[in-house]
Chain A
Amino acid sequence: MTSTTTPPSTDVKAGEPQPPRRGRIALLGGQNLSLIGALAAVLVLFGLLNDNYLSWSNLQVIAEAATLTGLLAIVQTVVIICAGLDISVGSQAGVASVVSAMVFTSTGSNAFLGLAAAIGVGLLIGLLNGAVIVYGRVNPTIATLAGLAAYKGLAQLLSDGRAQGYVLNNDLFVFLGRGKIAGLPVMVWILIAVALAVHLLLQYTDIGRNLYAVGGNDTAARLAGIKINKYLIAVYALIGVVAAVAGILLTARTGSGQPVSGSEGLELKAITAAALGGAALKGGKGSIGGTLLAVALLGCLENGLTVQGINTFWQNVAQGALLVAAVVIQQRRSGERAVGLPH
């Protein structure tokens, strides 16, 4: 449906503003280039320190370990683009992990019911988060901070604080946790599929455009007719579903439902990856490509430090420092004045 009032002359493209021919490097963007540089430096450094670091088997270990972070970082990026935040993602994954294993066990080893229940619970939790934020008018950080505590407690209540069930007698769980397709772990394929889907959503659909608009200027988005509430609740619901997938993979990986172990602290990694990947915490900016690069960087760094036998306490310090550094750089770039509390 082209416009009916277009004068014929505008079909001639010459002489008028053209998009610049952007090279591949420009397309990657400065942020991504520095991430690639940092990633290369990490790989070279630990590769020199340890012969085994760059082996195919260790790289697979890195990829598998980074999958859960990756899934949560992808949806974290989406909510940060909308100028929101979700720090309850790790706890959500814990609930889903427990639910998947317990429903599986109590339904006589029905894996599909276990998966469906976990995803259903994830969806409900996401909708609840969204409703509290949008209709309860609770700041997203506070709302999901409450969720962080409450969903963790819920997972512990359901599981009595212990690992629940045993799922590795089931082919589907074994396939999810241990299987490979074309030499790559199934978990990694799931990460790739989710990343691709969210990337297409953000970059090529009107939904994605509207998400960037909501985060970029919510007043303008509202006056341009975007139903902001609908979008925000849908984003939190999406987080719930993807966090549930992460929880299911955690169950499949460890063999049982884990209320806390394996999911605790994932929110910090997810937010760090999104911020490192260039998602502006003020909203309106961010990309899945950048986030995945940051996830890879964090994963390689963590594995390298572990391989070198560096105390995990130091790894926590490193992670916290990275998050702050990423945001400081972001704020410097956007020319924030250092007056009062930042927004």
Chain B
Amino acid sequence: MKPVPPSRTGAGPSSPSSPAGAEAVAVEGLTKRFGAVQALHGVGLAFPAGQVTALMGENGAGKSTLLKILTGDHQPTEGGVRIGGEPVSFASPADARAAGIRIIPQEPEIIPHISVAENVYAGALPRTRGRLLDRAGLRRRVEADLERLGFADVLDPGLLGSRLTPAQRQLVEIMRALTGAPDARLIAFDEPTSSLSDGEVEALFTLIRRLRDQGIAVVYVSHRMQEIFRLADRIAVLRDGELVGVQQSSSTTEGDLVRMMVGRDLSAMFVRQRVATDRLVLDVKNLTTDDVRGVSLQVHAGEVVGLAGLIGAGRSELALALAGDLPVRGGSVTLDGAPLPSGNPSAVIRAGLGLAPEERKAQALFLQQSIRENISLVVLGRLRRFRFVRRAAERDLAREYMQRLRVRAPSFDHEVRKLSGGNQQKVVLARWLARKPKVLILDEPTRGIDVGAKAEIYRIIAGLAADGVAVLVISSELPELLGLADRVVVMQSGRITGELSHHEATEESVLALAMADDIAGPSASGASS
């Protein structure tokens, strides 16, 4: 258990003490349904001891669901988990932990006002005989752990949770995973490097290799190709909830993996006439916010521009900044040639820009109120006489847009919370259609809604473009984005990494830009000024 020298990159031989290659944990015929949504479909995958297995796939491919089943957060609809060949079932995360399965979450859960030591042992703090906290014992135990894991130089056990750097927060999670009985058998890292600096990434990789050499099965989820090729022994690719294949990292290429991740038929749902004009409506120059760095993009009247990127690329933050809800640090935005106000949603709406935000329930809808009230909210100024809302006009408006968007509900006085996700999204769109904006930003307009409603949303978007609205669509579903957009702009880490015309844009080309590790490299975008 004492420090093991870090091994070299690649699938090198592991330390003789561990039965490398033996199946530590495996899933079999794993299927998970959430209502009508099938998140996993018959996935069978082994995680051998002493190897790093990378898990890849687009957003929504099923990686998180697989991890959550492994760690007992979700229970499979069919199939199950095997440990050392024996089937097991986890009713809770505590069960999975007791079986030696640990996860390092993407966002470490650190309690801010207590020390590192207390954070590591939260929930299992050592006690004195008088039921008091055994501070000395805790300190001794954590110091021993730090020594054993080689973190003694980088982590002070007395430091408060709120003072930790992102890397230290992750170390606390790793310590949680590696302390306590029984010893860890499988450790899963969920996009661990997203908030780490280069040096910290190196240290993490050294640690992961050490864990591997101790015979632990490591699962590594990441979108970053270079990391995966440096670290992983095997690479498993998921797509639409199915396992596409498992490759040895020594015998595959980036191109192969991207093809495995996407290879899907474009549905015929997206056939529409291209109506984009040359009239520039939205012109964003060098926009900078806390999460967006120097973004420039243009949307013309009648044009649908798709904004692609992985989760966390800064797309929603860009949308919220344009809508006036996040502070702008630099750059300029004009709408129809006039500067767009910043930091003031109501002025932005008056200028003619609407946003249908990512989280429709949390950010757009008034769930306890009626369809009518939800639709009319942004046009009340037009519907009122003196300050009184003209009820008849409001009803006509609600009726008209319910019909045009085919909102399925018994009446426009129906509460919005009782509608399906697709109908709720149509209510959000109806609100903005009624407002008749010049620019409409749609953030994940089809998330969590069924295929039929999706097709209708696509029809509505095509109709908006035909009416000359400049439409910016953010979507994590690439086929959808490629089908809808006249042009695809790709973001990564708050920057635009490229821009592809309708003809150039394929899932491969978009994904390559979205996962481009080297942000500073030559950009396909001509718009950066």
Query: Which residues of A are interface residues toward B (Cβ below 8 A)?
Result: 1-3, 5-6, 10, 13, 16-20, 204-207, 209-210, 212-213, 216-217, 219-227, 284-285
Contacts and interface: CB of A to CB of B under 8 A. Distances in A.
8 closest A-B pairs by beta carbon, nearest first, are A225-B346, A206-B380, A225-B349, A216-B366, A205-B387, A17-B411, A19-B413, A10-B400
Interface string B385-418: 0011100010111011011100001111100000
B431 interface: yes
Nearest to A208: B389
B369 A212 contact: yes
A205 to B, nearest CB: 4
B366 A213 contact: yes
B357 interface: yes
A19 B377 contact: no
18 contacts: A3-B397, A3-B400, A10-B404, A16-B399, A17-B409, A17-B411, A19-B411, A20-B411, A206-B380, A206-B383, A209-B380, A210-B377, A216-B367, A224-B349, A224-B431, A225-B348, A225-B350, A227-B346
Contacts of B368: 216, 284-285
B424 to A, nearest CB: 12
Interface in B115-158: none
- Which of A212, A217, A219, A223 has the most C-beta atoms of chain B within 10 angstroms of its own C-beta? A223
Contact of A20 (B362, B369, B378, B413): B413
B382 interface: yes
Interface of B: 323, 325, 345-346, 348-350, 355, 357, 362-369, 373, 376-378, 380-384, 387-389, 393, 395-397, 399-400, 402-404, 409-413, 431, 434, 436, 467
A18 B366 contact: no
Contacts of A224: 345, 349, 364, 377-378, 431
A218 to B, nearest CB: 10
Given A3-B397, A20-B413, A225-B349, A219 B387 contact: no
A207 B384 CA distance: 10
Q: Say what secondary structure dominates the interface of chain B.
A: helix
Given A216-B367, A227-B346, A209 B397 contact: no
Nearest to A15: B403
A240 B410 CA distance: 42
Contacts of A5: 467
Contacts of B383: 206
Contacts of B376: 209
B112 to A, nearest CB: 18
- Which of A5, A6, A225, A227 has the most C-beta atoms of chain B within 10 angstroms of its own C-beta? A225
Q: Say what secondary structure dominates the interface of chain A.
A: loop
Nearest to A212: B369
A204 B394 CA distance: 12
A206 B363 contact: no
A227 B348 CA distance: 12
Given A20-B413, A206-B387, A284-B366, A223 B377 contact: no
A340 to B, nearest CB: 15
A221 B363 CA distance: 8
A225 B399 contact: no
A217 B362 contact: yes
A335 B436 CA distance: 37
A2 B413 contact: no
Contacts of B366: 212-213, 216-217, 220-221, 284
Contacts of B413: 19-20
Contacts of B467: 5
A160 B403 CA distance: 67
Given A205-B384, A209-B373, A213-B377, A220 B364 contact: yes
Contact of A209 (B349, B389, B404): B389
A87 to B, nearest CB: 24
Contacts of A20: 410-411, 413
Contacts of B377: 209-210, 213, 224, 226
Nearest to B386: A205
Contacts of B411: 17-20
Contacts of B412: 17, 19
A17 B382 contact: no
Contacts of A221: 366
Contact of A17 (B345, B389, B410): B410
Given A223-B363, A224-B378, A3 B399 contact: no
Contacts of B325: 222-223
A20 B414 CA distance: 10
Given A3-B434, A5-B467, A18-B411, 17 more contacts: A2-B393, A3-B400, A16-B402, A17-B409, A20-B410, A204-B389, A206-B380, A206-B389, A209-B389, A216-B368, A217-B362, A222-B325, A223-B355, A225-B345, A225-B350, A227-B346, A284-B368
